[in-house]
Structure 1
C-alpha cells in the first residue's frame, strides 16, 4: 500500500490489494494474536470470557450483537473494533459511499472510472473515519439508516425515476467500514425490517428502486437483554441475521473493577487506591443486594461518578481551606453517597430505605478494604487512646493539618508511621487520609465511637 498514491494507476503500481472489511479485520486480528499484541486496549474483565467469543466471531466474519445490562462496556468494546481496520484505506475521491478505487458501485463512480481510467483520483481515509455509530432512538427513520429520495436533486431537474435522486442513509455511507447501532431494541420494528436486506443480501432497497449495491459493511450492535427491557425487542428475523450473539457482564474481579474506575474517571485530585477500592467494593455489593433491582443492573458509571465526586470534594476542601494538596479522604465518600442514589433502581419493598441501604453497604465496603489493606497492623493502641477521653475531629471541610494536629499522642509508638507505610502515605495530606481510614476501621469494628454533627465527624 502506498499512502501517497493520488490516482488509481499509482495505487495499482504500488501493489495494493483490495480486501473486504471482514478479511481486513480478520487478518489484522490474527496478526495481533500471533505477535502477542493486545488488540483490545482499555477493555478490562473480558479477557477470558467475552473477548475470545468476539475474536472467534470476527475471524468467522460474523455480524455481532452484544447483549448486556447498562454500563458493562458494550459501546467501548464496539468502538475498539475500529482499531482492527487498516490504518489508511484508499477511496475514490468525492465518492458518496467511500468506494474502493478498484470496485466502484454507484452509477456516478462507474462513469468517472470509465472516463478517467488510471487517472481516477483517490484519497485516503483513516480507520477512525470508517467506524460509524448510531444511537437507536424511537424517532429514527428508514431514511436515516438506509436513505430516501432527495427533493433537492429532484428540484435540480432530475426525474423521480432516476436512481441518482437518492440520498443515502447511514448504513450505505458506512460502506467499507463498521456501522454500530447502540440500543438496537429501541428501533421501531418496521425500521428493523429495513436492515434485513443489508445484513443478508448486502444490498439496499429505497422506495420503488431496486439498487443492487454490493455493500461491504460489518454491522455490530448493542442491546439490553429482552427479559427486562420494556422499550422494545429485536425482531426474530433480524436476530437470526446476526452471526454471533454475545453476552457481556460486569467485572468479575475486584482488580478489574478498580482498573476501569482508574481508566475512565477524570480525577482532578490525588485519590488513593484504597478510596477507589472502597468504591469498587461498594458497587459490587450493590450488584448482589436483594434491595436493588438487579434486572436494571448497577453500571460501572456508578463507581466512576462516585470517584469523580470524591475527588471533587477534595478539591473543594483544598480551595476553601487553602490546602496545597487536594487529597481525597474517607470522609469524602459521604459526598458520593449523597448524589449517587438516583443512579440505582431499588426494589419496591425498599422504598424509603434507600439512604439506609447505601450507608450500610458503604460501611461494609470500607470494613472489607480496611481488613485487606491494614491486616496485621495492631490498631488497639489508637483505640485505647480514644477510649481514654481523646476525641479526633475530621470532616469534609477539616483540612489535613488540623486533623493531624488533633490526633492523640502515642508516645514512643510508631503506629501512625506503620499505618502510613502500609498505605504508601508520605505527605501530610496522604497521612491524614491513611489515618482517617484506620479510624473508620476502628469504628466499624466497634472499638471506638463516632458522631456526626454540624458537618464534622468526631471519633472518640
Structure 2
C-alpha cells in the first residue's frame, strides 16, 4: 500500500492506475516479491523446505486452485491460513456490495445499476485481507444455501418476483468473492454439494431452486483431504478433482531433529510466577521425538488415523509440567525434565492414539515398550563412546541409587558423590553443572544402562532403585 489516500470513487480509482488483476494474479505477484526478497511464504514450517514448500511456491505462481493431502497434524491449516498474507492489504469494491463487486467489473444487478447511474462518481469502499478469507469445515449436513445461496423469503415478501436474481441471499463463497475460500476435509462434503462447488470453480453457472445464476466469481479455492479418503474411497467426484490445478502432499517431520524443532516451536510451557523456570534438556525432547516416530511405525497403531505433531507437542508440555510439579513439591529453583517424568507422558497421551482393534487392553504395555525403546535409542546415540566403567564399578561396590518423579535433583546427585568418570558421561549429554540438569542426565544414563541389561531396577516406595544385577 502506498502512502497516497485511497480512492473513494470509480473515477479516482481509474486515475490512480490501480491494477486490474484477478486474485490469483495478485497472490502470484505478492509471492514473487516475497521470494525475490528471500522471505518464506509460510512462517513456522519445519522440514518442508525441500518437499512441500517448492510445490506450494510453484502452484501459487501458476495461479492454481490447490488441494493439500496429508494426515492430521501436518500443518495443512497453517499453510492455508498463511496464504492470506499474500493478499493485498486492501482492495476496492463497489460501495455496499454483498459480493465484493470489482469496481471495474461489477456483476450483481445492484452494482451494475449503481455504476450505470453514477459513472465515475460511483462510491468505492476498501476491504482488508481478513474480509477476503473464509474457512469452512466440510460436513455432510452442509447445504448449497450455505455455500452458494438461496432465495430470501424476506426479499420476496417485499415484492420481488422469484425469478428476480435480486431475491438471492448469497452464501459463504460469493460473499468472499475476490478472496480465498478454504474447505477442510473436502471428501466429507456431500456429492451434490461438490457438484455446486464444481460449477463455482469452473462454469461459474449456479442453479438456486431452479433459477440459473451467473456468478463470475474471482476466487482461489484451497481444500484439504486425507490421502485415504482422496485416493482409496474416492469420495471426491472425479470432475472436481480435475479442477484443482495442483495437488500438494504434506508429511510428518522426516527426522528426529525436525520433530524436536516443531515441539520446541509449538509448545506452550508454564512460565508465570511463582512457577519455577522450566528447562527441557535436548536429549529429553529427542526421547519424545523418537517415541512419536516409533508410534508412527508400530504395527499395533492404526496408521490411518496418524500420529500428529500435536501429539509430540502435547507430550512436551506434559513432560515440562511434571518437572514443574516436582520442583514445586521439592523446592527446586528450576524445573528440569527427567526420564522419571515420562510415565506422566504415557498416562496423558493414552487417549490420543488409535490402536488396532486386536490390541485392545494392551495399550499401556505397547506405549511403555515403545517409550523404553526410545530412551535406549537416545542413550546409545548420545552416550556412545563415553566411559561408563567408573559408574558401573561404583554399583559393583554396593552403590544403590533411588530416584522418582518427586526426588529432587540435589537429593539424587547426593547419592552419587565422587564417582570416577561421571563428569565425562555428563559432558557427552551436554548438560550444565546444576544439580537438576545433572540429575536429568544421570537418570538417562541409569535407565539406558538398565535397558542395556547392565543394571537392575527395582520398584521402590518413591520410584525406582538401580542396583548391580
Q: Normalising by the residue count of structure 2, what TM-score does the alignment of the two structures yield?
A: 0.90
Given candidates 84, 87, 94, the residue that maps to 2:86 is 84
Match of 1:322 in 2: 331
Q: How do 1:54-93 and structure 2 match up within 5 A?
A: 54-93=56-95
Distance in 2 (alpha carbons) for counterparts of 1:279 and 1:44: 17
Match of 1:309 in 2: 318
Residue 348 (structure 1) aligned with residue 350 (structure 2)? no
Q: What SS does the corresponding residue of 1:326 show, helix, strand or coil?
A: strand
Q: What SS does the corresponding residue of 1:341 show, helix, strand or coil?
A: helix
Residue 409 (structure 1) aligned with residue 417 (structure 2)? yes
| Pair 239,367 (structure 1): closer, same or farther in 2 beyond 3 Å | same
Given candidates 293, 298, 305, the residue that maps to 1:296 is 305
Distance in 2 (alpha carbons) for counterparts of 1:351 and 1:148: 48
| Pair 24,395 (structure 1): closer, same or farther in 2 beyond 3 Å | same
Runs of 4+ in structure 1 off by over 6 angstroms are: 228-232
Distance in 2 (alpha carbons) for counterparts of 1:232 and 1:394: 54
Given candidates 419, 437, 440, the residue that maps to 2:444 is 437
User: How many aligned positions are there?
Assistant: 458
Residue 380 of structure 1 deviates from its aligned partner by 2.5
Moved more, 125-134 or 211-220: 125-134
CA contact 1:149–1:166 (8 Å) conserved in 2: yes
Distance in 2 (alpha carbons) for counterparts of 1:270 and 1:14: 56
| Pair 348,94 (structure 1): closer, same or farther in 2 beyond 3 Å | same
Residue 48 (structure 1) aligned with residue 50 (structure 2)? yes
CA contact 1:192–1:235 (8 Å) conserved in 2: yes
Q: What SS does the corresponding residue of 2:303 show, helix, strand or coil?
A: coil
Residue 376 (structure 1) aligned with residue 385 (structure 2)? yes
Structure 2: gaps of 5 or more residues: 271-277
Distance in 2 (alpha carbons) for counterparts of 1:87 and 1:281: 42
Residue 175 of structure 1 deviates from its aligned partner by 0.8
Given candidates 97, 100, 104, the residue that maps to 1:98 is 100
Given candidates 192, 197, 200, the residue that maps to 1:198 is 200
CA contact 1:185–1:231 (8 Å) conserved in 2: no
Residue 334 of structure 1 deviates from its aligned partner by 1.1
CA contact 1:88–1:127 (8 Å) conserved in 2: yes
Match of 2:376 in 1: 367
Match of 1:247 in 2: 249
Q: Normalising by the residue count of structure 1, what TM-score does the alignment of the two structures yield?
A: 0.92
| Pair 424,18 (structure 1): closer, same or farther in 2 beyond 3 Å | farther
Match of 1:113 in 2: 115
CA contact 1:329–1:433 (8 Å) conserved in 2: yes
Residue 127 of structure 1 deviates from its aligned partner by 2.5
CA contact 1:202–1:216 (8 Å) conserved in 2: no
Residue 15 of structure 1 deviates from its aligned partner by 2.4
Q: What SS does the corresponding residue of 1:167 show, helix, strand or coil?
A: strand
Given candidates 25, 28, 41, the residue that maps to 1:26 is 28
Match of 2:453 in 1: 446
Moved more, 230-239 or 302-311: 230-239
Moved more, 142-151 or 393-402: 393-402
Distance in 2 (alpha carbons) for counterparts of 1:455 and 1:168: 65
| Pair 258,124 (structure 1): closer, same or farther in 2 beyond 3 Å | farther
Residue 300 of structure 1 deviates from its aligned partner by 1.5
| Pair 389,118 (structure 1): closer, same or farther in 2 beyond 3 Å | farther
Q: What SS does the corresponding residue of 1:69 show, helix, strand or coil?
A: coil
| Pair 291,421 (structure 1): closer, same or farther in 2 beyond 3 Å | closer
Residue 414 of structure 1 deviates from its aligned partner by 5.6
Q: CA RMSD in A?
A: 2.4
Q: Deviations over 1:40-79 (max 9, x none)?
A: 2112222222222222222222211122222222222222
Structure 1: gaps of 5 or more residues: none
Distance in 2 (alpha carbons) for counterparts of 1:18 and 1:390: 80
Q: How do 1:279-294 and structure 2 match up within 5 A?
A: 279-294=288-303
Residue 178 of structure 1 deviates from its aligned partner by 0.9
| Pair 441,93 (structure 1): closer, same or farther in 2 beyond 3 Å | farther
Distance in 2 (alpha carbons) for counterparts of 1:346 and 1:106: 53
Residue 13 of structure 1 deviates from its aligned partner by 3.4
Q: Deviations over 1:130-172 (max 9, x none)?
A: 2211111121111111111223333444333332221111111
| Pair 430,143 (structure 1): closer, same or farther in 2 beyond 3 Å | same
Distance in 2 (alpha carbons) for counterparts of 1:158 and 1:322: 75
Distance in 2 (alpha carbons) for counterparts of 1:247 and 1:225: 9
Match of 1:274 in 2: 283
